[in-house]
Amino acid sequence: MNTAESNISPSAPVDAPLITGNQSFSSVTRRISEIVEVELKKTPKAWYIAFSITSSLAGMMTLMIGWLLWEGTGIWGLNNPVGWGWAIVNFVFWVGIGHAGTLISAILFLFRQRWRTSINRFAEAMTIFAVICAGIFPGIHVGRAWVAYYMFPIPNQMDMWPNFRSPLLWDVFAVGTYFTVSCLFWYVGLIPDLATLRDRAVNKVRKAILALFSLGWRGSNRQWRHYEKAYLILAGIATPLVLSVHSVVSMDFAVGVVPGWHTTIFPPYFVAGAIFSGFAMVMTLAIIARKVYSLEDFITMHHLENMNKIILVTGTMVGYAYACEFFIAWYGANTYERAIFINRAVGPYAWAYWTMVTCNVIVPQLFWFRRWRRNIVWMFIASILVNVGMWFERFVITVTSLSQDFMPSSWDYYTPTIFDIGIFIGSFGVFLTLFLLFLRFLPMIAMSEVKGILPEADPHYYKAQEIKDKQVIGTEGEQVQLS
Helices (H), 293-412: 301-331, 335-346, 350-357, 370-373, 376-395, 401-403
Residues 246, 99 contacting (CB under 8 angstroms): yes
Over residues 439-444, mean pLDDT: 90
Residues 98, 127 contacting (CB under 8 angstroms): yes
Residue 6's pLDDT is 35
Over residues 385-405, mean pLDDT: 91
All structural domains of the chain with their residue ranges? 50-455
Least confident of 215-229, 295-309, 314-328, 463-477: 463-477
For 18-39, b/e burial (b = at least 16 CB within 10 A) is: bbeeebeeeebbebbbebbbee
CATH topology of domain 50-455: Formate dehydrogenase/DMSO reductase fold (1.20.1630)
Residue 334's pLDDT is 84
d(CA 320, CA 305): 23
Residue 98 has pLDDT above 90, yes or no: no
Residue 463's pLDDT is 59
Residue 46's pLDDT is 85
Q: Give the list of residues 6+ apart from residue 3 with CB closer than 8 angstroms, or none.
A: none
Residue 9's pLDDT is 36
Residue 477 has pLDDT above 80, yes or no: no
Residue 293 has pLDDT above 90, yes or no: no
For 157-189, b/e burial (b = at least 16 CB within 10 A) is: eeeeebeeeebebbbbbbbeebbebbeebbebb
pLDDT tens for 343-375 read 898 989 999 999 999 999 999 999 999 999 999
Residue 14 has pLDDT above 60, yes or no: no
d(CA 174, CA 390): 21
- Between 320 and 408, residue with greater pLDDT: 320
- pLDDT interval class at 387 (50, 70, 90): very high
For the entire predicted model, the pTM comes to 0.87
At residue 204, what are phi and psi to the nearest 5 degrees?
-65, -40
Residue 483 has pLDDT above 60, yes or no: no
- pLDDT interval class at 3 (50, 70, 90): very low
- pLDDT interval class at 11 (50, 70, 90): very low
Mean pLDDT score of the chain? 85
Apex 311 CA angle, 307 and 315, nearest 5: 170
Residue 320's pLDDT is 93
Residue 459's pLDDT is 67
Over residues 65-92, mean pLDDT: 88
- Name the nearest CA neighbour of 89 among 327, 414, 432: 414
Assign 3-state DSSP to the chain and report helix, strand, coil percentages, each to 5.
75, 0, 25
Least confident of 86-95, 148-157, 355-364: 148-157
Amino acid at 399: V
pLDDT tens for 167-210 read 888 888 888 888 999 999 999 999 999 999 998 888 888 899 99
At residue 93, what are phi and psi to the nearest 5 degrees?
-60, -50
Query: What single DSSP character describes residue 300?
Result: -
Residue 129's pLDDT is 93
Query: At 78, is the secondary structure helix, strand, or coil?
Result: coil
Residues 440, 38 contacting (CB under 8 angstroms): yes
Amino acid at 110: L
Over residues 68-91, mean pLDDT: 88
In terms of residues, how long is the chain?
Answer: 483
Apex 291 CA angle, 387 and 275, nearest 5: 25
Query: What single DSSP character describes residue 43?
Result: P
Question: Measuring CA to CA, how many Å separate 384 from each of 1, 36, 321, 336, 388?
Answer: 56, 27, 21, 34, 6
pLDDT tens for 206-216 read 899 999 999 98
d(CA 274, CA 92): 9
Over residues 298-307, mean pLDDT: 90
Residues 84, 414 contacting (CB under 8 angstroms): no
d(CA 421, CA 355): 18
Residue 461's pLDDT is 57
